[in-house]
Structure 1
Amino acid sequence: MTARRTVEGAGYGALLRTPGAWTFLVPGFAARLPYAMLGLGTVLLVHHTHGSYGTAGTVAAVAAVAQALVGPQSGRLADRLGQAAVLVPGVLLHAVSVTALIVLALSGAPVWALFAAAAPAGASVPQIGAMVRARWVVRLGGPDGSAGGPMLGTAFAFESVTDEFTFVIGPVIATALATAVAPPAGLITEAALTVGGGLAFAAQRRTAPARHPRPAAGERRASALAVPGARLLTLAFLGIGSVFGAVQVSMTAFAEQDGRPGLSGVVYGVFACGSMLSGVLYGMASWRRSAQQRMVLGYLVLVLGCCTLWAMPNLVALAAAGLVCGLAVAPNLITGYTLVETLVPADAKTEAFTWLTGAIGLGLAVGSTVAGQLADSVGPWAGFLVPVAGTGAAFAVLLALRGLLAGPAVGGRTAAHGGGPVEAATTHLTSAALD
């Protein structure tokens, strides 16, 4: 078996036989599924009670912005205090906040009151995806999570596929519950899954990363964003988030205009299914190009895929175009997570993963807000121009500053030692990809 196949083509079966993996994967899946339900569940409920996609998209955006701003701070706390110490109070606050949002919406409360409930609901979204990735680093690397093992690329591919799978079934579940049962049913289920899955995940302490309560003597702790390459990847993920937000709202509006509102979750699920499929294949492939090159090329494909959505004449064509566009999403997510893991020091990995997740949430917020306004004022097709603009701008910056993705980690314990396991992982992954 060649080195490059070991790094990025290792089998999923071998990955899932990693000792202790299933103890955090199962509750982690239950707790991360609500992430794909919160936005659409909010849009469907608020549109039902207030009659505007612009208002619904804005309320969902408030939750997403709060998640994007607070999420990285919770990731930083998880690195310092441990994952359980952050998760347990977080999921309980989330359940209370979502309940308040449902009650306020059904009572016809003013929009500002919905914002007041949506903000803590978003801020308390558990950062399960980042925490699972941090646990993979521990399982597959060193005991302190300071180095990436040879199967880490496959693990990140698996996680991106899992993320996309939640976006396949999450919107379908939220739409089915909101349209066939009751408008708030999607959000009620979301809150229940968050609490149950989050508490079960927090209970799995044996697989959790070690806490980093304070820097060791002679070392300093820096934010993950002190690494220039991490900042660039955060911007790239912001553009990807604009795709999720704008496509979700625009597809919902398009389905209603087409007279089949119940199919909005299915059409969006097809889009996510394309990403899931490409993620599975991406994690199994052997790559000769470096991760930096793949990030740039993959992002260009994403921009081109987004350019087709606005011109689709019906739901069938839109689903087909969404499937093709979705094929470009997961490869960028996988490569981005792989790159940021090699760039940041061990005591900031959960924070780094959370910044990427938060950037997706912030891009989702902006995308859903702008797309909702355009869908109300111009038409659903106009909302699909938002991801074109978002990914196009991010790609221009990514192309200009792509050299930052090859730089060594700075700050934290890696810089303090003048090079170490993170740099070794970078060299190993890059040389394997070029083999």
Structure 2
Amino acid sequence: MPHSPASAPSRLLLTVSGGQLIAAAPGERPPRRGRRGPRRLAPYARLFATPGTVAFTVPNLVARLPSGMFGVATVMMLTAHHGSYALAGAVVAAGLVLATVAGPLIARLVDRHGQARVIVPAALLTATGHLGLLACVALGAPVWSYFCCQLLTAAQPNTGGLSRARWAHLHRGPAAGAVAARHTANAFEQAMDELCFMCGPVVAALLCTALFPEAGTLTAAVLMLGGTLAFAAQRRTEPPPARQAVPGPPPLRAPGMAALLGTFLCVGSLFGAMEVVTIAFAEERGQQALAGAVLAAQAAGSAAAGLLFGLLRPRGTVRGRFTRCVAAMAVLMSMLPLAARAESLLLLAPVLLIAGMATAPAMVTGMTLIQQVTPAGRLNEGMTLAVAALLGGIATGSAGGGALVEAHGAVTAYAFPMAAACLAAAVTAATRPRRPTTAR
């Protein structure tokens, strides 16, 4: 850059753009190069600039994808050998019920002894259960042995909660930057949850139909075990274990926790009913093959909204944002019965896409609240309680939605997920924590 004459103003405004140093006279703004896209993604760039974050995120996603595969893979495997959806549903439901009990207990061990020491044997037990079920089905073992194998699958670690705990540890504290980083991290994790539950069933169905009925379960077990082992090997980002019991009430009795779990239970009921009713809606119209794509629209809307929500700067209190997000979810879910009356999957899919956009922000903010009310040394247990509430809600919603379909048809049954969303909003609005929650 040439030097200015001595009579020229001595101060220049400097900026770097595209690797070049650019000068502007006083009073002028430096020229701006149009690269707004990367700037909008800056919160995620800053998030993954922390050393070790990519190294634990990638294997965690590999370990998490099977969570969306096991259910569909088990159903397709059992129906191929027995032709009974009742048996397949009972086996899957048994695993869900057991997971709601075992999950928090395993998470408590994780908080006490560290992630790697607990999740490696837990993943081995889980893989043994799924591969044992595969062997029992293929070899024609008695049906009761299927349920015995499901006892072991309940040991599956809550991989999403493990990843969230690492983000919370890396960005702990009340500083504004840490609070914003946790918000972005929770949004990213929620979007990845939606992505796994959107792609998992598709991958499982493709494997079971293109290869052999046991291929989905076999692949999911290998991915879960391999991803968990690789995740556990990333020790430098692992939160330190508490080593001893954390003083104070357990997470279940923490102020505000019961109300949050009540909301998560209602949201889980929404998810469970939505899946069953949408499949029935498609089957009633002879378009069952499109049910997966329609449900994927809801997950896609939620994933996209989650990623966009992570780019926003959090404003106001977390409790206020949570109340507004759940209320928005109730409003959007209220469109479902109206769309169903048109009796068209082409109309229902975009409505589900739009309705799903309120799901991720509500879940992101809810998980942030869970992290705030849970004692610092028992974070995995607190987040796993939320997942257990969701699983319990999914089981309840699946049963309730299915019963309503049998009694009144799928169009009327869409009132169930709408009612669950409205109940979640009512619970959130009517309850308040006993003491103000503070960011950590």
Query: What is the correspondence of 1:176-325 to structure 2 with a 5 Å cutoff?
Result: 176-215=206-245, 220-310=247-337, 312=340, 313-325=343-355
Residue in structure 2 matching 1:125, options 156, 171, 177: 156
Q: CA deviation at 1:358?
A: 1.7
* Counterpart residue number, 2:183: 153
Task: Name the CA shift for 1:315/1:113 in 2 (closer, same or farther; >3 Å).
Answer: farther
Q: CA deviation at 1:71?
A: 0.8
* Counterpart residue number, 1:141: 172
Amino acid in structure 2 at the alignment position of 1:306:
M
Relative to structure 2, which stretch is displaced further, 259-268 or 226-235?
A: 259-268
Residue in structure 2 matching 1:102, options 134, 152, 161: 134
Task: Name the CA shift for 1:112/1:307 in 2 (closer, same or farther; >3 Å).
Answer: farther
Amino acid in structure 1 at the alignment position of 2:395:
A
Amino acid in structure 2 at the alignment position of 1:392:
C
Q: Which runs of 5+ in 2 are unaligned?
A: 1-39
Q: Which runs of 5+ in 1 are unaligned?
A: 1-7, 409-422, 427-435
Task: Name the CA shift for 1:103/1:389 in 2 (closer, same or farther; >3 Å).
Answer: farther
Amino acid in structure 1 at the alignment position of 2:190:
S
Q: What secondary structure sits across from 2:256 in the alignment?
A: helix
Q: Retained in 1: the 8 A contact 2:103–2:158?
A: yes
| 1:82 paired to 2:109 | no
Q: CA deviation at 1:330?
A: 0.4
Q: Retained in 2: the 8 A contact 1:31–1:196?
A: yes
Q: Distance in 1 between matches of 2:315 and 2:215?
A: 47
Q: Distance in 2 between matches of 1:59 and 1:300?
A: 35
Q: CA deviation at 1:128?
A: 0.7
* Counterpart residue number, 1:337: 367
Q: Retained in 2: the 8 A contact 1:41–1:184?
A: yes
* Counterpart residue number, 1:365: 395
Amino acid in structure 2 at the alignment position of 1:120:
L
* Counterpart residue number, 1:69: 101
Task: Name the CA shift for 1:53/1:405 in 2 (closer, same or farther; >3 Å).
Answer: farther
**Identity score, percent:** 38
Task: Name the CA shift for 1:62/1:389 in 2 (closer, same or farther; >3 Å).
Answer: farther
Query: What is the correspondence of 1:413-432 to structure 2 with a 5 Å cutoff?
Result: 423=438, 425=439
| 1:351 paired to 2:351 | no
Amino acid in structure 2 at the alignment position of 1:210:
P
C-alpha RMSD of matched pairs (Å): 2.8
1:120-179: CA deviations, max 9, x gaps? 32x12221111111111121226xxxx955411111111111111112211221222233
Q: CA deviation at 1:48?
A: 4.4
TM-score, normalised via structure 1 length:
0.82
Relative to structure 2, which stretch is displaced further, 71-80 or 174-183?
A: 174-183
Larger relative CO (CA 8 A, sep 6+): 1 or 2? 1
TM-score, normalised via structure 2 length:
0.81
Q: Retained in 2: the 8 A contact 1:44–1:175?
A: yes
Q: CA deviation at 1:317?
A: 2.3
* Counterpart residue number, 1:430: none
Task: Name the CA shift for 1:301/1:11 in 2 (closer, same or farther; >3 Å).
Answer: same
Q: CA deviation at 1:50?
A: 4.7
Q: CA deviation at 1:220?
A: 1.8
1:40-88: CA deviations, max 9, x gaps? 3333444444545555444322222221221111111100011112111
Q: Retained in 1: the 8 A contact 2:265–2:392?
A: yes
Q: CA deviation at 1:180?
A: 3.3
Q: CA deviation at 1:359?
A: 1.4
* Counterpart residue number, 2:7: none
Task: Name the CA shift for 1:100/1:305 in 2 (closer, same or farther; >3 Å).
Answer: farther
Q: Retained in 2: the 8 A contact 1:292–1:405?
A: no
* Counterpart residue number, 2:52: 20
Q: CA deviation at 1:185?
A: 2.5
1:249-281: CA deviations, max 9, x gaps? 333344444444443332222110000111111
Task: Name the CA shift for 1:100/1:318 in 2 (closer, same or farther; >3 Å).
Answer: farther
* Counterpart residue number, 1:407: 436
Q: Retained in 1: the 8 A contact 2:275–2:295?
A: yes
Q: Retained in 1: the 8 A contact 2:401–2:413?
A: yes
Q: What secondary structure sits across from 2:165 in the alignment?
A: helix
Q: Distance in 2 between matches of 1:63 and 1:201?
A: 24
Q: Distance in 2 between matches of 1:15 and 1:305?
A: 31
Amino acid in structure 1 at the alignment position of 2:433:
L
Q: Distance in 2 between matches of 1:55 and 1:380?
A: 23
Amino acid in structure 1 at the alignment position of 2:165:
A
Amino acid in structure 2 at the alignment position of 1:139:
L
Q: Distance in 2 between matches of 1:278 and 1:406?
A: 30
Q: What secondary structure sits across from 1:404 in the alignment?
A: coil
In the alignment of these two chains, the number of paired residues is 395
Amino acid in structure 1 at the alignment position of 2:168:
V
* Counterpart residue number, 2:64: 32
Q: Distance in 2 between matches of 1:347 and 1:59?
A: 35
Q: Distance in 1 between matches of 2:361 and 2:435?
A: 18
Residue in structure 1 matching 2:200, options 160, 170, 177: 170
* Counterpart residue number, 1:395: 425
Q: Distance in 2 between matches of 1:297 and 1:265?
A: 30
Q: CA deviation at 1:383?
A: 5.0
Q: Distance in 2 between matches of 1:394 and 1:290?
A: 19
Q: Retained in 1: the 8 A contact 2:197–2:299?
A: yes
Task: Name the CA shift for 1:20/1:256 in 2 (closer, same or farther; >3 Å).
Answer: same
Q: Retained in 1: the 8 A contact 2:128–2:152?
A: no
Q: Distance in 1 between matches of 2:218 and 2:303?
A: 26
Task: Name the CA shift for 1:262/1:100 in 2 (closer, same or farther; >3 Å).
Answer: farther
Structure with greater helix percent = 1
Task: Name the CA shift for 1:45/1:252 in 2 (closer, same or farther; >3 Å).
Answer: farther
